[in-house]
Amino acid sequence: MKIAFCGKGGVGKSTIAALLCGALLEEGYQVLAIDADPSPHLGRLLGFEDPEKLTPLSEMRDLLAERAQKQGPYYTLNPRIEDLPERFMLTRDGLRLMVLGAIREAGGGCACPEQTVLRRLLSYLILRAQEAVVVDMEAGVEHFGRATVVPMDFILVVTQPYRGSLETARQILRLARELKMERVFVVGNAVRDSEDEAFIEATLGKRPLVSFPEDPEVLQAERAGESLLELKGPSREVARELVRKLKTHGS
């Protein structure tokens, strides 16, 4: 089961990705969590020690340039990446974490040689993984333009019941259709009631597969910097429901 989370920045996709990792572990899965967001914090949400000391691969510019064999304007499109998971992956209690991050330059540009290494590593991790894979993608829609998410079994588009969030979700759904992706589902977050859920469905033409509530336990854990894997409240139950529905759609 290979799952990518997408959505507008700030909608809670990292939080839901962490909650899903917990539910998958509870079901007996081995889990590979991949943080591919430019501002990665999945490690903190998953309770890894000293997450602020985790250096995303995207910040190791000398290493990336070396692997890209960058020489002036030239670089390889087939960089060597096979040894990087062993060197930089963290492991704990059936959970593996790889923090990729994403390259961003001042002015919004992309450092193509270095990004080529990250993209190839992401594809390598997804395709070679023997366990469940949960990928927290960068916010927005750029990764769809690069077709990064094609190897995934499920694309989960996280949205809140607000127009800005829903507009990004609408763009992602359109691009997913253009790439002929079939298992693309909407996941609601901070949904207060059936009216919020109906607003999401009316705007996107898709009913949320599940909807996470506004959960004080999640807020408290986030503020305290505590792992979301230990939560017992409503969000944990929705994450369990999400696993059940993904298993049904995957069979």
Distance from C-alpha of 248 to C-alpha of 251, rounded to nearest angstrom: 5
| pLDDT per residue as tens digits for the range 109-155 | 455 777 778 888 888 888 888 899 999 988 776 666 555 665 789 99
| pLDDT per residue as tens digits for the range 53-110 | 677 888 887 888 888 887 766 677 678 888 888 888 888 888 999 998 876 654 444 5
pLDDT attached to residue 49: 79
> What's the angle, vertex CA 105, arms to CA 122 and CA 145, rounded to 5?
50
Predicted TM-score of the model (pTM): 0.89
Asked if the model's pLDDT at residue 17 lies above 80, the reply is: yes
Best CA proximity match to 246, nearest among 118, 120, 156, 151: 156
Q: Which domain holds residue 190?
A: 2-47+90-103+129-250
Residue 211: both structure tokens together: 């909807």
pLDDT attached to residue 106: 44
Number of domains in the chain: 1
Q: Which residue has the higher pLDDT, 78 or 231?
A: 231
Asked if the model's pLDDT at residue 16 lies above 80, the reply is: yes
Residue 79 lies in a domain: no
Mean pLDDT, the chain, integer: 86
Region 10-33: what's the mean pLDDT?
A: 95
Distance from C-alpha of 189 to C-alpha of 197, rounded to nearest angstrom: 9
| pLDDT per residue as tens digits for the range 163-215 | 999 999 999 999 888 888 889 999 999 999 999 999 999 999 999 999 999 99
CATH number of the domain within which 150 lies: 3.40.50.300
Give CB contacts under 8 A, 24+ apart, made by 128-133.
Answer: 129/2, 129/32, 130/30, 131/29, 131/30, 131/31, 131/32, 131/96, 132/1, 132/2, 132/3, 132/24, 132/29, 132/30, 132/31, 132/32, 133/1, 133/2, 133/3, 133/31, 133/32, 133/34
Residue 80 lies in a domain: no
Residue 108 lies in a domain: no
Residue 60 lies in a domain: no
pLDDT attached to residue 143: 62
Residue 163 lies in a domain: yes
Distance from C-alpha of 92 to C-alpha of 238, rounded to nearest angstrom: 24
Residue 69 lies in a domain: no
Task: Please state, for a pLDDT cut of 90, what percent of the chain lies above it.
Answer: 49
Residue 26 lies in a domain: yes
* R_g of the chain computed on alpha carbons: 18
Residue 25 lies in a domain: yes
